[in-house]
Chain A
Amino acid sequence: LAKTTQPISMDSYEGQEVNITCSHNNIATNDYITWYQQFPSQGPRFIIQGYKTKVTNEVASLFIPADRKSSTLSLPRVSLSDTAVYYCLVGETGANNLFFGTGTRLTVIP
């Protein structure tokens, strides 16, 4: 399993764009990159998944460079409700033991 490294915490003001970068130097050919969001007292929630280049949905964008050794989750114009822990996971879509790590705690400041 490819391990990931991401910042422990980040602060941002409301309305700003937030970029959280994840390093995964040992990513394998069949691995996808998936991000989850977790609010206090709730289970993680799937945000976005990608393999290469750029993926965008109604919540976030995921940027993956050509070498795939890192990825960046971009949250446009964050609000207080985006305060949460964000996890970067790397693994095959069919894998049964994904490594969650401790994630990045994002705090949005008014």
Chain B
Amino acid sequence: DAGITQSPRHKVTETGTPVTLRCHQTENHRYMYWYRQDPGHGLRLIHYSYGVKDTDKGEVSDGYSVSRSKTEDFLLTLESATSSQTSVYFCAIKSGIGYGYTFGSGTRLTVV
């Protein structure tokens, strides 16, 4: 959708293992975001990036780290996955004034 892809689409991992989710965009947008979505909580911002190597924390950043070494890629890492991080993760880009955000299709992560 609009040049934004997430990988993997689904992942099952064990508690305590590291996990990296990837978001790739083809439109050269400066701002990229990682959200998680859980029942009863809507979407909550984890981290965002406003340029290469420029990132900041969101509402629920504990237990997550991010990196952005290239404009097109924004990585979300769970250093040691926990069951509370079982969720659907969405990446988004800011599409410009008047156009809101464009979201990827999501990654469903299950931590067992």
Contact = CB atoms under 8 A, between A and B. Distances in A.
A100 B98 contact: no
B42 A36 contact: no
Interface stretch (B14-22, B70-78, B79-87, B102-110): B102-110
A36 B37 CA distance: 15
A29 interface: no
Nearest to A99: B42
B5 to A, nearest CB: 11
Given A96-B48, A101-B42, A43 B103 contact: yes
A97 B45 contact: yes
What is the predominant secondary structure among interface residues of chain A facing chain B?
loop
Nearest to B45: A97
Q: How large is the interface on A (under 10, 10 to 19, 20 to 34, 35 or more residues)?
A: 10 to 19
Contacts of B106: 41-43
Nearest to B103: A43
7 contacts: A41-B105, A42-B105, A44-B103, A45-B1, A87-B43, A93-B98, A102-B40
Interface of B: 1, 31, 33, 35, 40-45, 48, 50, 56, 58-59, 90, 92, 95, 97-106
